[in-house]
Structure 1
Amino acid sequence: MSSPYSKELLVAQLAVQRASLLTRRVFLDSAKGTVSKSDASPVTIGDFGAQALIIAALRHNFPSDEIVAEEEGSKLREDAALADRIWELVKSTKLDDEKAETEVLGGAVKNKEHMIDLIDSGNSKGGRAGRIWAIDPIDGTKGFLRGGQYAVCLALMVDGDVKVGVLGCPNLPVDDAAPLSADAGAGSDEGRGVIFSAVLGQGATSRPLTSAGLAGGKSIAMKPVTELSAASFCESVEAGHSNQGDAAKIAEKLGITRPSVRMDSQAKYGSIARGAGDIYLRLPTSKTYQEKIWDHAAGDLIVREAGGQVTDVLGRRLDFGHGRTLAENKGVIAAPKAVHGQVLKVVQEVPGV
């Protein structure tokens, strides 16, 4: 008998794998086709192409499910040249495994108009009822553009609870034992590319990113931390995403002497889940900012299934059922269960957090 959510997991893994291959092609292209969204953050042809491929797989397999996704297609309807570039990428990105490509993923996107319609269909408002997928086609776009870390992210929420999470991290080392570093995986493509995944109650795994079918996976677990002073922690590269000054104060109070490792995207969640790092802090930079659910849903589950605990700075579980944002949460603390309480206590001692 298949385990709960086995089909959802397989579809999600293969969809993220195919989308990750598209983003890698764009990553290796020096002309990444950057445009600007209304919030002035950069977005690339990789974001649009990856989102189209993932939604195509979801629509083929789970046509009645809702989808919350970051991108929308209005820019492509206005810019025919940009849409053409993305369409060329989308129609030429396929897995080498024909069975996975046709039977599981449902084959290619039909045409350019279908592609834009798919991108536009990720407009669910989210909520606590039913099955809702959350997609971030390229999380960490600035890292992507600067040649650093980024992630292709997909999670399934059922009645507001995350059940399946998959992260594609094309620039992380395949080796789960590789130490956490800001330049992890830099250089040659050889030895880079990881797919992290988890199902609620079934543990977390990592596997190499390949162009064929899914490679064999292995279980991952957070590293036991007995002395917090010996722990390592990671945070966002962008100061606007996390209060780095407060993080430094917290590290000092915990006795951590190692400098923080700053990297973009949910690659941080994957890194601590497999024991390459220990603690992930994302501290509020303003009282009004609300995190997006697609920036945390998959990583939250993967860390928890690897033996970690994820809360906000008030000790509350992340609430993915409120809508498209984590409106009821403030910041993020991810750490091994055994020490999460200690980290949380120190975080709460820092004025203003």
Structure 2
Amino acid sequence: MSYAKELLVAQLAVQRAARLTKQVFADSAKGTVSKSDASPVTIGDFGAQALIIAALKKNFPDDEIVAEEEAAKLREDDSLAEHVWNLVKGTRLDDEKAEKEVLGGSVQSKDEMLDLIDKGDSKGGRSGRIWAIDPIDGTKGFLRGGQYAVCLGLMVDGDVKVGVLGCPNLPVDDAAELSADIGNGEGRGVIFSAVQGEGATSRPLTTGALEEGKRIGMKKITDLSAASFCESVEAGHSNQGDAAQIAQKLGITRPSVRMDSQAKYGSIARGAGDIYLRLPVSKTYQEKIWDHAAGDLIVREAGGQVTDVLGRRLDFGHGRTLAENKGVIAAPAAVHDQVLKVVQEVLSV
């Protein structure tokens, strides 16, 4: 089955949402509020989610949506809602055809915006078409001026078929070496995308029509000691001590690159890095599907393998979380088993 329309809509929806997030990113006051789990959310999260869902509902009205945010905070605070609404109604692509024919034009009212945000309340599952949205993945990175990603994936019967990542602070150049300060300098903004069975691509992130994409692939590794790996900035997201031991056992001498968001998936998919480790920090924590769906597919379509620490493929059919998985290991397919073996040795699993 072709997913050409789904891919086009997803790419343009992410591109439009990324334009909104960049406006907020440039503002020193990002309109931050806290959710019940104490994690931060910004006006950019709300606005980007509304724009993406608007595009999905225009094109695929019967599809379900699993999204990270809900509009309760906005309904309680009209001034905050008004701030988000001003962003949403003012954000359009420069390309009129893409804006009207593909995305369906602008959101018509503040009430419509709030209702759209709340349409991301699907429970997920193993049947039907379900989109997973993280409007700003890596909110803490977004707030500190680092890496973040606008993430969108389509699952059909629990299997990811389309994945798109908009990474406004990654360099366009696929050959740019992965480093802690990779987001500094000119030429930033890239969109990664993949369709199951069709490979993965990258293209510059623009404010209008899509630029031409080019195929990307993971770097071929012959000597693991020369490999590089990336992990989360937040120690609460991944066990950094265990990661250091794993790197030592693999003979990796280069320090890890710590960055926020699914920008890590995109970076290794195009060969800027080699291995991504997200190691369990709690026996009870469950990863959210919107944090991994797009990146998982993009890495696999670029020649990589993605599993949990027990060697199981990530299972997106259990609802809103990866309930049956623990941690994430993403690496080139040829060396994934080697990495997995050492991970299991260090974690004693």
The interval holding the TM-score normalised by the smaller chain is over 0.9
Q: Which residue of 2 aligns with 1:96?
A: 94
* Count of paired positions: 349
Task: Give the distance between the partners of 1:20 and 1:245, measured in 2 at CA.
Answer: 33
Question: Aligned equivalents of 2:152 and 2:73: distance in 1?
Answer: 23
Q: Which amino acid aligns with 2:218?
A: M
> Match for 2:249: what amino acid?
K
Counterpart of 1:164? 162
Q: Counterpart of 1:114?
A: 112
Match of 1:58 among 56, 59, 66: 56
Matched, 1:87 2:85: yes
Hey, what's the Cα distance between the residues in 2 that align with 1:121 and 1:267? Answer: 26
Consecutive unaligned residues in structure 2, runs of 5 or more? none
Q: Give me the whole-angstrom Cα distance separating, in 2, the residues matched to 1:50 and 1:57.
A: 11
Cα displacement string for residues 40-93 of structure 1 (whole angstroms, at most 9, x for unaligned residues): 011100000000000000000000000000000011000000000000000010
Task: Find the aligned partners of 2:110 and 2:181 in 1 and give their Cα distance.
Answer: 37
* Aligned equivalent of 1:20, options 6, 18, 21: 18
Q: Name the amino acid aligned to 1:207.
A: R
Name the counterpart of 2:284: 288
In the aligned structure 2, how far is the partner of 1:351 from the partner of 1:87?
A: 47
CA distance in structure 2 between the aligned counterparts of 1:351 and 1:298, rounded to whole angstroms: 27
Instruction: Encode CA deviations 1:267-296: one digit per residue, 9 max, x unaligned.
Output: 000000000000000000010000000000
Tell me which residue corresponds to 1:40.
Answer: 38
State the 1:185 CA deviation. Answer: 2.2
1:323 aligned to 2:319? yes
Q: Match of 1:254, as an amino acid?
A: L
- What's 2:218 paired with? 222
Q: 1:328 & 1:134 partners in 2: Cα distance? A: 18
The alignment's C-alpha RMSD in Å is 0.7
Shift of 1:212: 1.1
Instruction: Give the aligned partner of residue 261 of structure 1.
Output: 257
> Corresponding residue for 1:124?
122
Q: TM-score when scaled to structure 2?
A: 0.99
Ranges in structure 1 where 5+ consecutive residues have no aligned partner: none
Deviations 1:217-274 (A, max 9, x none): 1000000000000000000000000000000000000000000000000000000000
Normalised to the residue count of structure 1, the TM-score between the two structures is 0.98
SS at match of 1:285: coil
Partner of 2:247: 251
Residue 233 of structure 1: aligned partner: 229
Kindly state the Cα deviation for residue 186 of structure 1 after the two structures are TM-superposed. 1.4
Q: Hey, what's the Cα distance between the residues in 2 that align with 1:183 and 1:292?
A: 27
Matched letter for residue 143 of structure 1: G
CA distance in 1, matches of 2:6, 2:282: 36
Report the alpha carbon displacement of residue 351 of structure 1 after superposing the two structures with TM. Answer: 3.6
Match of residue 133 from structure 2: 135
**Where has structure 1 moved over 6 Å in runs of 4 or more?**
none
